[in-house]
Amino acid sequence: MGRVVLAALVGVAVAFGACSSSKNEDAAATADAGVDAKEPIKLDPLADFTCLGKVSYPAPAAAAVAFDLTAVDPSNNTGIPDVNLKACAFTDVDCTAPLDTAKTGVGGLGTFTKLPLGPNGFDGYFEAQYEKEHANLNFQQPVYAKLPAYGRFYWGDAQMQTLLDSANLKVEKGRGILGVQVHDCHQLPGGVPCMDTATETTCRSHLPGGIVITVDVVDPKMTRAYIHLDGSHAYVSTTDEATSSTSGIGGFINVPPGPATVTATIGATGQKLGTFKTFVRPDAYSMLVLMPQ
């Protein structure tokens, strides 16, 4: 499938997508030989990868924390009210016994009054659901404290279906979507996270381009896709090789239910950015933030 223009998704933060692939200068000669040669993946000059191998999260200062989460409309970056939120243990795949619950109000903000923090922080996931729509499962690196301005895009069924239809992609019943947003080291200077101590403007990751996203799930019906943001348009491609520096986003469509391990690799060097264990629930949208490790 080729590149598709999608309007009003410039602020997209968690989904699937990427940049368009290109041919190198000798592509014509190579094509004559029956080989589809691609230009090597370039290193993103704006990305910081100096924290790799040094990342260490602090131990939580308390056993629980009041934690704010904003459900954001991906089409216009505004908050969505009346979204039901759950904090779920990673082992509770269906979240039948939520650890805490909340509901978003005006502005899309919901507050978990007592989000439990274990020795390594909250290492579960957040479920967001509006009425009877497909649930959004939001996975994040361990939450060890209250993080300011923590928002997650909520993908409603109509938005997701429009997005998939525009790219000629459809999710089969009983399968799911696994979206990945990759960050660089700007929020982890020297390997120490700053998300709880600084404002978003002084502690804000770059979403790196040139990152190859893979998953250990093998299924012939599954499709990998990347997204590239360009002005007022988003270009979705299933043929590109790596993330774009305008979004840092990739993902997989029609993933079978079950555990999944996602790995992000710097395409130009082969260095591993990080690995994240997650899972896909049937008829749900799993979205994860992959921070450097």
- In this prediction, residue 36 has a pLDDT band, given cuts at 50, 70 and 90, of low
The SS3 assignment for 256 reads: coil
Q: How far out from the chain centre does Cα 243 lie?
A: 12
Secondary structure, 3-state, 12-62 = CCCCCEECCCCCCCCHHHHHHCCCCCCCCCCCCCCCCCCCCCCCCCCCCCC
pLDDT at 17 (0 to 100)? 26
> Between these two residues, 287 and 236, which has the higher pLDDT value?
287
Model confidence at 234: pLDDT above 80: no
Note the pLDDT tens digit of each residue in 203-228: 888 999 999 999 999 999 999 988 76
- In this prediction, residue 232 has a pLDDT band, given cuts at 50, 70 and 90, of low
- In this prediction, residue 230 has a pLDDT band, given cuts at 50, 70 and 90, of low
pLDDT at 5 (0 to 100)? 36
Please state the domain extents for the chain.
Answer: 4-290
Element (H, E) at 160: helix 157-166
pLDDT at 229 (0 to 100)? 67
Model confidence at 107: pLDDT above 90: yes
Model confidence at 38: pLDDT above 80: no
Looking at every residue in the chain, the average pLDDT score rounds to 84
25 is written with which tokens? 């200068």
Residues forming a β-bridge with 86? 101, 127
| Mean per-residue pLDDT, 233-254 | 84
Whether the CB-CB separation of 135 and 128 falls below 8 Å is answered with yes
Note the pLDDT tens digit of each residue in 72-87: 988 788 999 999 999 9
Phi, psi of 100 (to 5 degrees): -165, 155
Model confidence at 3: pLDDT above 50: no
- In this prediction, residue 141 has a pLDDT band, given cuts at 50, 70 and 90, of confident
Note the pLDDT tens digit of each residue in 4-35: 333 333 333 333 322 222 323 333 333 344 44
Q: Distance between CA 29 and CA 22 in Å, rounded?
A: 15
How large a percentage of the chain has pLDDT more than 90?
Answer: 63
Q: How far out from the chain centre does Cα 186 lie?
A: 17
Residues forming a β-bridge with 276? 262
Q: How far out from the chain centre does Cα 193 lie?
A: 18
Q: Distance between CA 283 and CA 265 in Å, rounded?
A: 28
